[in-house]
Amino acid sequence: MADRETRNTVETWLREAELRLTPQRFAVLEYLARAQGHPTADQIAAEINRRFPRASRATVYNTLAALREAGLVREFVLGDGVARYESNTEAHHHFVCRACGRLEDVPPEAFKAPARVELAGGHEVETVEIVLRGLCAACKKKA
Amino acid sequence: MADRETRNTVETWLREAELRLTPQRFAVLEYLARAQGHPTADQIAAEINRRFPRASRATVYNTLAALREAGLVREFVLGDGVARYESNTEAHHHFVCRACGRLEDVPPEAFKAPARVELAGGHEVETVEIVLRGLCAACKKKA
DNA sequence: ATCTTACCTTAGACTTAATCTAACAACCGT
DNA sequence: ACGGTTGTTAGATTAAGTCTAAGGTAAGAT
C-alpha cells in the first residue's frame, strides 16, 4: 500500500469512527495497519516514539481502547497476561506454541467456526475468539 | 459427591500426576473440584486460607502451575489480565459479557468445534480455547 | 480568522497480578 | 538417621495497566 493511500485510509477510518484525528491516534493506527504480527502496547509505544509524535503510555492505552471500541483494532490476551493488538483485517484465529511462545495466525478455513452463534439464554454474541495451543513444528522436532 | 469420595479422588489425581501430596496442593485441588464458577488465584488463596492449611501466595501460584501442567486444571485469561482456573471437567467454552463482565460456561454442543484440529505447517494442536464475547441477556435488556 | 469548549494528552504516582529470592521444612530412598 | 530432592514461606521485586490533575489542541461556531 502506497504511503499517501495508507494515510488517507487511516484518516478515513478515524473520521468514520467519530474519533478526533490527533497525531497520536493517527500514529498508533497507522503503525498497526502496517505492522506484521501482533504487537503489545509496549511495542507500539516504543515504535511510534522512535520519531515524531510523542505519545505517553496513558495515551497509547487510551487510544488502543478507543480504537478497540470503534472496532478498528482487535485486542486479545494469550495467557501471559499481556494484551496484543492487530488492526482488523478479516477474521482469523491464533496458534500459540507452549514451548517457544511463537504466535501465528491461523486462516479461518483451517478451523471452521460458524459465522453467527446463537446462545441459549438470549445472550448476544458479538465476537468469537479462538486460540489453538500446542507445539509448533520446530519445537515438536526438538522434543 | 460425598466428602470421603472427593478426598480419595483428589488424592488419586495427585498421585497419578506424580505430584507430591502436600496439604497445600490438596487444598487447592479440592477447592477447585468443589468450586462452582471460575475463581482467580486470589480467590483460591483467600478461600483455602480461611481454615487450615496455610498457603502463601507463591505456593498457590506454584501449585496452580503444577496442576495446570499436569492437566488437572484449566487456566484461562479473559482480557482483564487476571488468570482464572477451573478443575478439568469435560470440554466447554466461555461467554463473557462486555458490559457486566459476567462469565458463563457454554456447553460444547452450543458451538460445534472439531474434536481434532489439523494445522498446516505441522503444528501439533493440543487445546482449543474458545471465548465468546458480547452482551448477556440482562445487559441487553437494559441497553 | 479567532474563539470556545469539549475532548485529548501528559508525567508521574499508583494499583495489582504475578514472579523471584533465599532460607527453611518435609519427604523418600538408602 | 542421613542426604538429596522437592515444596513452602515471607517479603521484595517486576511489570502491565490505570488514575489524577493540569495543560494542550482539534474542530465546529461565531
pLDDT tens-digit map of B64-120: 999 999 999 999 998 788 999 999 778 889 999 988 888 999 988 877 766 677 787
Q: Does A81 touch chain B (CB under 8 A)?
A: yes
**CB nearest to B117's CB, from A81, A83, A132:** A132
**CB atoms A134 and B120 under 8 Å:** no
Rounded CA separation B45/A138 (Å):
37
Q: What is the pLDDT of residues A72-124, one digit of tens each?
A: 999 998 878 899 999 977 888 999 998 888 899 998 887 776 667 778 788 99
Distance CA A119, CA A54 (A): 44
Q: Out of A4-8, B39-43, B92-96, B112-116, which region has the weakest mean confidence (pLDDT)? A: B112-116
For residue B32, what pLDDT band results from cuts at 50, 70 and 90? very high
pLDDT of residue B115: 64
Give per-residue pLDDT as tens, A47-81: 999 877 789 999 999 999 999 999 999 999 887 88
CB contact under 8 A, B130 and A130: yes
Q: What is the CA radius of gyration of chain A?
A: 17
Nucleotide nearest to B61 (CA to C1'): C18
Asked whether the predicted pLDDT for residue B1 surpasses 60, the reply is: no
**Are the Cβ atoms of A114 and B111 closer than 8 angstroms?**
yes
**Residues A129, B131: C-beta atoms closer than 8 Å:** yes
Nearest by Cα to B133 from A29, A140, A130: A130
pTM: 0.87
CB proximity A136 to B under 8 Å = yes
Judge whether residue A1 has pLDDT over 60: no
Sorted by sequence, the CB contacts under 8 Å of residue A141 that are 6+ apart come out as: none
pLDDT-based confidence at A2, cuts 50/70/90? low
**What is the structure's pLDDT at A115?**
64
What is the pLDDT, as a whole number, of residue B89?
74
Q: Note the CA–C1' distance, A62 to C20, in angstroms.
A: 31
Nearest-Cα residue of chain B relative to residue A69:
B98
B130 contacts A129? CB cut-off 8 A: yes
Residue A45 has pLDDT above 70, yes or no: yes
- CB contact A132 to B (< 8 Å): yes
User: Which residue's C-alpha cell is 496458534?
Assistant: A95
Smallest CA–CA distance, residue B20 to chain A, in Å, is: 24
pLDDT for the residue B118: 79
**Taking residues B128-141, what's their average pLDDT?**
90
Å between A35 CA and D23 C1'?
32
Say how many Å lie between the first and final Cα of chain B, rounded: 41
Residue A41: nearest nucleotide (C-alpha to C1'):
D16
Instruction: In whole angstroms, give the CA distance from residue B124 to residue B118.
Output: 8
Provide DSSP, A65-101. HHHHHTTSEEEEE-SSS-EEEEE--S--EEEEETTT-
CB A24, CB A63: distance < 8 Å: yes
Q: Give the mutation candidate from A96, A123, A125, A130 for the B interface (greatest B CB count, under 10 A).
A: A123
